[in-house]
Amino acid sequence: MINDELLKEEAQKLGVHLNYYAIDRFDVYAERLVRWNEHVNLTAITEPDDIVIKHFIDSLYPLRFIHMEKGKKLIDVGTGGGFPGLPLLIANPELEVNFVDSIGKKLGFIKDVLRNTGLIGQATHIRAEEIGRDAEHRESYDFATARAVAPLNVLCEYCLPLVKVGGFFVSLKGSTGNEELHQARTAIKTLGGALEQFEEYTLPNGDKRTLIIIKKISQTPTKYPRKSKKIDTRPL
């Protein structure tokens, strides 16, 4: 259903080569997304070229700057319809990806896409701040990703506890990234992070985006993440 050439060409501009299997999987993904969206609220974007640019290419953008080698562990926090985690997995099928969302139905969709594309991944129905307190997951991921889930200072408390020292939290933001980064300086420092890279870019359709990459440089103090209510009412 999607324009394969558009996807391939735009991915190539990011230095991402998509082979036949990847293109086929993106096609299945787009088709399932539109179908599931009729009964589960996954996205407002359903035009095929918009899906390619605003979802797939946007999600692949971090690969311009970060190499995600095979076997690395990634957690996609607030994954919703699978962005950016699923495109990143399709581009690198040997990544170990855990898709996390607080809404179970959305994970039903993720499992459906994994099954229909033959990809392997984990889908976990839990709140980010809860999985961040679970010893099995805390400080155990090479990458945490999140697109459009919460303001950056709040997101840092969701994501940085999950990243191991030396790993990265990759935040995909709209045009407000700069202000959000400014407001998140205390959160980044308190939670053991340091700004690695800040990139403002424009998608091929003209939409403005920001990519913020935060490196985990020291362990997160055990008191974080706090309970959901505290994170919301007294963000760092």
Number of residues that bind ligand SAM (CB under 6 A): 17
From the CB of 200, what's the least distance to ligand SAM, in Å? 18
Q: CB neighbours of 46 closer than 8 A, spacing ≥ 6?
A: 33, 34, 37
From the CB of 67, what's the least distance to ligand SAM, in Å? 22
Complex with ligand SAM: residue 158 or 168, whichever CB lies closer: 158
Question: What residues from 139 to 168 belong to the interface with ligand SAM (CB under 6 A)?
Answer: 147-149, 158
Residue 124 in contact with ligand SAM, rule: CB under 6 A: no
From the CB of 51, what's the least distance to ligand SAM, in Å? 11
| Binder among 16, 68, 128, 163 for ligand SAM (CB under 6 A) | 128
Angle CA 217–222–224, to nearest 5: 85
Complex with ligand SAM: residue 81 or 192, whichever CB lies closer: 81
Cα-based distances in Å from 66 to 60, 161, 176, 181, 183? 10, 20, 22, 19, 24
User: By the 8 A CB rule, do 192 and 219 touch?
Assistant: yes
Residue 106 in contact with ligand SAM, rule: CB under 6 A: yes
Question: What residues from 27 to 86 belong to the interface with ligand SAM (CB under 6 A)?
Answer: 78-81, 83
Q: Taking the CA atoms of the chain, what radius of gyration do you get in angstroms? A: 17
From the CB of 20, what's the least distance to ligand SAM, in Å? 26
As to burial, measured by CB atoms within 10 angstroms (0-12 exposed, 13-18 middle, 19+ buried), residue 49 is middle
From the CB of 141, what's the least distance to ligand SAM, in Å? 15
Q: Interhelix angle for 20-36 vs 4-13, to 10°?
A: 120
| Binder among 10, 101, 157, 180 for ligand SAM (CB under 6 A) | 101
Token code pair at residue 131: 């999985």
Complex with ligand SAM: residue 77 or 181, whichever CB lies closer: 77
As to burial, measured by CB atoms within 10 angstroms (0-12 exposed, 13-18 middle, 19+ buried), residue 202 is exposed
Complex with ligand SAM: residue 5 or 134, whichever CB lies closer: 134
User: By the 8 A CB rule, do 224 and 127 touch?
Assistant: no
Residue 102 in contact with ligand SAM, rule: CB under 6 A: yes
Q: Give the separation between CA 171 and CA 152, rounded to whole angstroms.
A: 8
Q: Site residues (CB under 6 A) for ligand SAM?
A: 78-81, 83, 100-103, 106, 127-129, 147-149, 158
